[in-house]
Amino acid sequence: MLFKTLINVCRIDELRNKILFTLAMLMVYRIGFWIPVPGVNQGELTRFFEMQAATGSAAGKMAQYVAIFSGGSFGQSTIFGLGIMPYITASIIFQLFGTVSPALKKLKDEGPSGQTKLMELTRYVTVGLCIVQAVGWLTYITSSGLVYPQWANNPLWWVMGVMSLTAGTIFLMWLGEQIDRFGIGNGVSLIIMAGILTGMPSAVMSVYANFDAQDPSKMGYMGLILLLAGFVLVVAGSVLLTVAQRRIPIQQAKHSRGSREFGGQKSYLPLRVNHGGVMPIIFASSLMIFPSVIFGALQERATVANIDSGWYYTIINWLSTNFQTGQFPYLLLFIVMVYFFSYFWITVQFNPEEMSKQLRDHGSFIPGLRPGPRTAEYLEAVMERITYVGAAFLAVIAVLPMAVNQGLKVDFIVSQFLGGTGLLIVVSVALDFLQRVEASLLMRNYDGFLGNSGDSGGSSKR
């Protein structure tokens, strides 16, 4: 069935060209990923971040964070080092402020022209964020001795470095827009997914290097089976809860025109269980970097001041030790943050009053409930209940890689494919990609990936 569907994809010229164009743009992204910024000692930079990742320092966490979310890498100072993260950050800023700012809300209500203006503002904010992040990054690697001395004190190098990193992000943003326009769509997300999946060969090699059935200190057959089974179960659960919905029945009111009656159809209002997607984990992960950085800095200051006893040192030492990645207090606070941002996101993005008003204006209602405030209260109560389940799922996905890494001593590069934001992004983007291909196949009466739809492949090719 799968091969038959792939053959059908190749038969449709338009769909085949879109997929090939998308793959070509992703290849361009991966080529640019290996073009370094001049003046940076790439060998020392790689060794530095490998050491930082091994010790679990804040710099190592920041590098892993950027690699997962942006499709770029600070560990390799290339022109795409900032990745697409500044653009995502700018988009999130406008999404959040769009619900509280009357001017932005007015632009959103203007339709395509307003969306074009918002996109233009997002690009300008992206450039500003790129400049700030590029200056901060170059300052950090310069102070760490990772830039050749003859370059570090040259003002032209600073201008070139900032422009290179900024241009790299803008070029990635342009690539995403080209995929949206000429490719299969969802270009920025596909770039992020490509960046995440490039870590899979390293994960496979890490498992291969640590596999030895004769050595008790290494992974055996049972460990390998459990690892593969865990990966399959987590991916299946992620797919299930990504598409899970709470369907609320909707009844359309009947109305008469002359001797004919219209309306009266039954439908449903789908509310996603995981309404926030990966956003709660992104917010929580961003903020959870700060406790370890702050407490680590306080402990270092206490050590410099020769404070190695007393209640102050005891508290700081406990906080610095227990708020490292994978420790129980860290995981507990992480779960609390995921729950908080899950409810925060639906508060910002989900408007039951507006939804109730739209139902009433279209002549629809929920059976047994009065249109208006009563319907809005019901929708809000339902969304709060299902968000609790969705947040629990996100919390499990978020802490699973850290728990596996600490508890089972599995390399983090492997455990991140057993959960976390990267897995959620890959699952959601892959599902969206399949749905787009499925829709194109069904429009031309071909069997899609789900099967049992339309005529048999090739029965009515157009």
CA distance 252 to 366: 9
Buried b / exposed e over 364-376, threshold 16 CB at 10 Å, is: bbbeebebeeebb
CA distances (Å), origin 206, targets 34, 153, 192, 196, 203: 22, 39, 22, 16, 5
Q: What is the mean pLDDT of the chain?
A: 80
Provide the pLDDT for residue 63: 61
Per-residue pLDDT of 250-301, as tens digits, reads 888 776 666 666 666 788 888 888 888 877 887 787 777 778 778 877 877 7
Residue 90 in contact with residue 122, Cβ under 8 Å? yes
Provide the pLDDT for residue 453: 44
pLDDT at 58 over 70: no
Place of tokens 């992004």: 425
Residue 83 in contact with residue 114, Cβ under 8 Å? no
Provide the pLDDT for residue 385: 92
Dihedral sign for Cα atoms in the order 116, 121, 127, 129: negative
Provide the pLDDT for residue 11: 81
Provide the pLDDT for residue 127: 93
pLDDT at 72 over 80: no
Provide the pLDDT for residue 162: 92
Q: Say whether 207 sits in a helix, a strand or coil.
A: helix
Average pLDDT over every residue of 379-394: 91
Q: How confident is the model at residue 67 (pLDDT cuts 50, 70, 90)?
A: low
Query: Which span out of 163-177, 260-274, 314-328, 359-373 was modeled with the highest average pLDDT?
Result: 163-177
Dihedral sign for Cα atoms in the order 144, 150, 153, 155: negative
Average pLDDT over every residue of 229-245: 85
Nearest Cα neighbor of 66 from 78, 101, 461, 447 is 78
CA distances (Å), origin 342, targets 249, 347, 403: 25, 9, 21
Average pLDDT over every residue of 98-107: 80
CB neighbours (10 Å) of residue 349?
15
Structure tokens at 8: 């059908």
CA distance 312 to 309: 8
Q: What residue type is 241 in one-letter code?
A: L
For the chain, the C-alpha Rg in angstroms (whole number) is 25
Q: Say whether 157 sits in a helix, a strand or coil.
A: helix
Place of tokens 């001795």: 145
Half-sphere exposure of 257 (CA within 13 A, CB side): 2
Residue 158 in contact with residue 114, Cβ under 8 Å? no
Per-residue pLDDT of 106-135, as tens digits, reads 887 777 788 888 888 999 999 999 999 889
Give me the phi and psi of 248, to 5 degrees please. -100, 125
Provide the pLDDT for residue 9: 77
Strand partners, 251: 266, 365
CA distance 347 to 59: 33
Structure tokens at 149: 């001395």
Q: Is 239 exposed, middle or buried (0-12, 13-18, 19+ CB in 10 A)?
A: middle
Per-residue pLDDT of 138-173, as tens digits, reads 888 888 888 888 888 888 999 999 999 999 999 999
Q: Between residues 244 and 2, which one has the greater pLDDT?
A: 244
Nearest Cα neighbor of 83 from 136, 133, 43, 44 is 133
Q: How confident is the model at residue 206 (pLDDT cuts 50, 70, 90)?
A: confident
CA distances (Å), origin 147, targets 5, 59, 61, 66: 51, 17, 21, 21
Q: Which residues contact 146 (CB under 8 A, 6 or more apart)?
A: 40, 41, 44, 45, 48, 77
CA 33, 36, 40: angle at the middle one, nearest 5? 140
Q: What percent of the chain has pLDDT over 70?
A: 87
CA distance 395 to 388: 10
Dihedral sign for Cα atoms in the order 216, 220, 224, 229: negative
